[in-house]
Amino acid sequence: MPTEENTITLSAAAALAFGASALQRLGFSGEEAGIVAAHLVDSELCGYPALGLARIITIAEHARMREPRSAPRIIHETPVSAQIDGGNFVGLYSVYRASEIAIEKARAHGFALVGLHNSWVSGRNAYYLEKIARAGYAGIHLACSRPVVVPHGGRAPALGTNPIAFALPGTPDPVIFDMGTSATNHGDVLLAGRLNRLLPAGVAVDANGAPTRDPQAALQGGILPFGGAHAHKGYGLSFMVQAMGLLAGAALPRGQVQDFAFLFMVFDPALLMPRAQFEQQLAELIVQVKATPRQPGVDEIRIPSEQAFRTRVQRRVEGFELPRRIHERIAAL
């Protein structure tokens, strides 16, 4: 863990200004930089540093950052669906715009199916789904990417980290579950390399397919599917997320079926039952699960997203620690 000597403490406001300034120096407008920085800072506040401000370095170094970009645009639309060309914008901006379109369509028709392609690096699925759930809608979000994950039984990458996430509106907070289908996050591998840290055992292989804890070797090799002895389950989920990404247009920009794409399914719970009835049942489910008898040494059974929301509340008051090495690299952009 970082120590006091090699980290600096940032408030949420200072981090937002710092991140937005760096992103504007990379060529983003004030509005674009603000949307991206807000996502990255929220990841820091919720306890996900690999998906936080360090992503600015990833954006700056990404090959597609040097390619032309244009405003995201809808290329096919029905009352309840939209296929969006992301204009080669970083996903932290374009996927945010796609979530807004999904909310608008769900508000008008009760349901929305929205796909986005020609974009890259989208951050936390939970960030977009929280926006959707706080607007009153249930949502599922899938994201696939270029190959960085080795399929079960393989020794070279063929899939993305391919997260899948679910959200339900609730009181006072929505319930959100967001998971990658890989044994570790690509962002965690990048951050470990930048901070000269070893990876956990059993999450990656080198270019020869041999297990490795060296993040640089893992970047030349690949990440494993999650599941350990049952990695075939993680691989199966990962494959299906990659395949569903084809519906979001993954192959449209470059003719590559192994590329970035993002898919939202959003609907009003009232399509199935009165909203108040659903919210009461969800609250009852949470109470009953948390009341389950606990194993020795377990203080509490938590609901998905509960810890992230608590951490956010605390860090909004106390700030958060950013490795000095990361701060200096961002400041040097």
Residue 143 lies in a domain: no
How many CA atoms does the CB half-sphere of 133 hold within 13 Å?
Answer: 25
CA distances from 226 to 51, 162, 172, 235 (A): 19, 11, 32, 7
- Does one domain contain both 289 and 311? no
Label residue 3 left, alpha or beta by phi (over 0 means left) and psi (-120 to 50 means alpha): beta
Q: Is 81 a member of any domain?
A: no
- 10 and 49 in a single domain? The answer is yes
Q: Residues 324, 282: one domain?
A: no
Residue 6 lies in a domain: yes
* CATH number of the domain where residue 316 is located: 1.10.1530.10
- Give a yes or no: residue 257 inside a domain: no
How do beta strands 81-90 and 111-120 pair?
parallel
Residue 224 lies in a domain: no
In tens, the pLDDT along 273-304 reads 999 999 999 999 999 999 999 999 999 999 99
- pLDDT band, very low/low/confident/very high, at 139 (cuts 50, 70, 90): very high
Structure confidence by residue, pLDDT tens digits, 58-103? 999 999 999 999 999 999 999 999 999 999 999 999 999 999 999 9
Asked whether residue 40 falls in the same domain as residue 3, the answer is yes
Structural domain boundaries enclosing 294: 275-304
| pLDDT recorded at residue 2 | 42
Q: What is the pTM of this model?
A: 0.94
pLDDT in tens, 146-204: 999 999 999 999 999 999 999 999 999 999 999 999 999 999 999 999 999 999 999 99
Tell whether the model's pLDDT for residue 1 goes beyond 50: no
Do residues 40 and 57 both lie within one domain?
A: yes
303: how many CB neighbours lie within 10 A of its CB? 18
State residue 276's pLDDT score.
94
Q: What is the b/e burial string over 43-72, where b = at least 16 CB atoms within 10 angstroms of the residue's CB?
A: bbbbbbbbbbbbbbbbbbeeebbeeebeeb
Would 187 be classed as within a structural domain?
no
Q: Give the pLDDT of residue 309.
A: 98
What is the total count of domains within the chain? 2
